Structures are given as C-alpha cells and as structure tokens.
Amino acid sequence: MHILLIHQVFAGPDDPGGTRHYEIGCQLVAQGHRFTVITSAVNYLTGEAADRPTTALPEGMRVIRIAGRTDIHRSYLARARAFFGFAGSALRAATALPDVDVVWGTSPPLVQLVPAWLASRRCAGGFVLEERDLWPEFAVGMGVVRDGALARAALRLKRFLYARARRVVINSPGFLPFLERYGLPAKKIRVVPNGVDVHQFDPAARGETLRAAWGAEGRFVVLYAGALGPANGLDIVLDAAEVLRDTPAMFVLVGDGKARGELASAAEARGLDNVRLVPAQPKRAMRDVLAAADACLATLRDIPLFRTTYPNKVFDYMAAGRPVLLAIDGVIREVVERAGAGIFVPPGDAGALAAAVRRLRSSPAEARAMGERGRVCVCAEFDRKRQATDFERVLHELVAAEAPRVDALGLGREVA
C-alpha cells in the first residue's frame, strides 16, 4: 500500500512533540508499505521553523514539509490562519502525489481533515479519519471557543467528515460515547490507543549529567514533559513547589507553549528555586530526560471532557520505569491504578500533589515498584508495535475491499 498522512503537527525523532505517527509509520514501512506525510515546516509546539532532521528516514517513508506561519501562537486568529493556510497547501501537495491507496487524516486541527477527504476521493481505500482529541468539544469546555456559531459550524463539519470517512479511529476508549452521539455505527469505529515505543526508554538509566545541569544533585526530581499550555493546569506545580519549598523536592518542566512565559515569571516572582523550566526537547533526547527523574507528573485542568483522554506522556513515563503522579481523572487513571504504576491526585489540588511527592520521596522502594509495574503494563498492553499492527489491519480492510462507489458527480460515498 501507499499510505498518505496529512498532519500539520507531525513530529519525528528530531522534533519536540508526540511521535505516534512517525513510530506507526516506521512499522508500516518495515512491513513493505510506502508512507508519505504532508506536514508543516513550522514546529507547532515551539512556533519556530523546524530544524533540518539529522535522523535519516527509513526506506519507504517520505516527509513533505510545507512552508507555514511562525506567528502561530501570537493569537487565535493567527492560529486559524495557519491552519487554513496549511489545509490549502496540503491539498495541492496531495493531489500531485501519484498512486496513493488510502489517505489518513488526523484531528486536531479539524480543518486539515478537509484536504484529506478531498484527496481520498481518487483512492481505492478512501479516507480514514483519526480523532486524537475531541475538538471543538475540548475548546468549548476550556472556554477557548464559545458555544456559539463557530462551535456549531465546527460540529457540523465534523459530522459531515465522519459520514464520509470509511473508518474512524480513536486513540482512547473514552471517546466512544461521543462518537455514538453522532450516530456512527460501531462497525465503522476502531480503537487504536495511544502508547509508546518501549525500546526508546531504559528504566535502569539515571540521567546524572542532566541532573547536574539542572542543579538537582541530592534532590527528588518530579518531572513534567510536554506542552506548557492553558489546558495543562500547571499552576498546580507552582503551588505544590511553594508547599515543598523547604524540602529536597524539585519540579522540572520540560516543554514549550503559550503558558511558558507566565509560568517562568510567576516562579521567579514567588522565589521558587525548586522549579526549573527546560526548553522542549526532541523525542530522541527524552530517554535521558526521563532517566533524570525520580517521578513524573501528568496534569490537565479539571474539565470533565479531559477524563476521556489517554495522554501520550503517561505511557512514556511508564515505559521509562518512573512512578506516575497523575492529576488527571478518568480513563487514564484506570490504566495507572490498574497497573499500580503511580498515585492519583485530584486535578488542581496542590496539597495532595505535595503529599504524594513526600510519600514517594520517603518510600524509594515503593516508588521503584510502581515504576517497574508501569513498565510491565505498557510492554504488555501499549507497545507501539502492537498498535501499528492494529492500524495496518484497518488500512488493509479498506484497500482490499471494493473501491468506493462513485456518484454522477464523481464524489466518493462512504462504504461501511
């Protein structure tokens, strides 16, 4: 098969951000398929032009980068312009590609699904829609988008695209009830959960070089790795650091995003010398970054919709053999608690987070056992190779099936 992915925020091993699609792509080309990605030349997490990759792509994988706007985080209007500009350029690039068998579109951003659907109309396998986050539902829940005309238009567009997708893939079972509300038949939905390439991480590594660079020798390091944005509820870190000011505990935030400047200013204003902010790191560096942690933190704002998510970072933490401090309720809490891989704290409860840090710092054997159990869990249930096999099966179902029927206007219709 020749598989085309349209994904504005695609990240490879030399980029900061989640590498789910790169890792699945590597497995697909290892099975003899061709995998082409159309993405932006601007890294979404940093808002800067992506560095030239130093890691060679595997044979059979091609990445086409399209010029984009570097003011993507200046305002919501600038972000919308970047999304729509990418969608138009991606469609032009996609229509120039020959012999594509199936098109994989992923959301958010929602608008990039439009060129994926349009490009798929000439493909035997049609259009596979991947829902990574429930947008615009998340945006409305956060108050970023008002529940008005814009949200209703986005929901209508999503319903339109759901109807034209031949399969809808979700990365968390928590999304299932929402898809059912759209009237999607169960046979059209597949769950390919978030996970991790377990071989990228070494639980035995200690990361002493980075700990020295952070001034963390002799301290208990609680590490957060990922986006520093409004959704992440990272005020809890500053408040917990205040409570733990006179202890050897230290918080290290590795990442970038709209909230980074505010967090840095607030930490300085409060005199929190037990908080460090470290720039976003490429995925290939995360093995050493997580090795430098004693425990790892995942947090989101306390919004009911966030209880549906499977955050990538949690699976990375578990693969690295580090205990998870989880300030996210819902389906990911079920995973961590079933594995015995960490401690749940109510989202936004800094006192509970500080108490959990004290518990792990004073009980190294318990912390070590949590990390070991987390590693066992992801190796058994959330290994990226297994997920790539599941995704390959979805694509094979479509390409091997009869091509979509074509109406009098030449428009592909969905096939169950």
Cα separation of 387 and 400, whole Å? Answer: 20
Query: In 10 A of CB 333, how many CB atoms?
Result: 17
What does the pLDDT average to over 172-181?
A: 91
Tokens of 137: 């539902």
Q: What is the pLDDT of the chain when averaged over all its residues?
A: 90
pLDDT at 47: 72
pLDDT at 331: 97
Q: Which of the four pLDDT bands, split at 50, 70 and 90, describes residue 298?
A: very high
Whether 244 has a pLDDT exceeding 90, the answer reads yes
Q: Which of the four pLDDT bands, split at 50, 70 and 90, describes residue 416?
A: very low
pLDDT at 152: 86
Whether 412 has a pLDDT exceeding 70, the answer reads no
CATH superfamily of 2-195+383-400: Glycogen Phosphorylase B; (3.40.50.2000)
Q: Which of the four pLDDT bands, split at 50, 70 and 90, describes residue 409?
A: very low
What does the pLDDT average to over 272-300?
A: 95
In the chain, the N- to C-terminal Cα span, in Å, equals 20
Cα separation of 255 and 371, whole Å? Answer: 22
Q: Which of the four pLDDT bands, split at 50, 70 and 90, describes residue 405?
A: very low
- pTM, rounded to two decimals: 0.89
Which helix (H) or strand (E) element contains residue 84?
Answer: helix 76-95
Whether 358 has a pLDDT exceeding 80, the answer reads yes
Tokens of 89: 């350029």
pLDDT at 125: 93
Q: What are phi and psi of 295, to 5 degrees?
A: -150, 160
What does the pLDDT average to over 361-390?
A: 96
Which helix (H) or strand (E) element contains residue 21?
Answer: helix 20-30
Cα separation of 253 and 286, whole Å? Answer: 13
Whether 400 has a pLDDT exceeding 90, the answer reads no
CB 5 within 8 Å of CB 22: no
pLDDT at 410: 44
Q: Which of the four pLDDT bands, split at 50, 70 and 90, describes residue 404?
A: very low
User: What ranges do the domains of the chain cover?
Assistant: 2-195+383-400, 198-381
In this predicted model, which residue has the larger pLDDT, 70 or 96?
Answer: 96
Tokens of 267: 């930490």
Same fold, 2-195+383-400 and 198-381: yes
pLDDT at 64: 95
Which of these CATH numbers, 3.40.50.170, 2.40.10.230, 3.40.50.2000, 3.30.70.20, describes 198-381?
A: 3.40.50.2000
Q: Which of the four pLDDT bands, split at 50, 70 and 90, describes residue 301?
A: very high
What does the pLDDT average to over 305-309?
A: 94
**Nearest CA-CA partner of 317 in 375, 240, 233, 266:** 375
What does the pLDDT average to over 175-201?
A: 92
Whether 181 has a pLDDT exceeding 90, the answer reads no
Angle formed at CA 171 by CA 225 and CA 135, multiple of 5 degrees: 85
In this predicted model, which residue has the larger pLDDT, 327 or 80?
Answer: 327
What does the pLDDT average to over 15-22?
A: 89
What does the pLDDT average to over 386-411?
A: 72
Instruction: Give Rg (Cα) of the chain.
Output: 21
Whether 408 has a pLDDT exceeding 60, the answer reads no
> Which of 163-167, 314-318, 410-414 shows the lowest mean pLDDT across its residues?
410-414
pLDDT at 411: 41
CB 361 within 8 Å of CB 338: no
Cα separation of 41 and 74, whole Å? Answer: 17
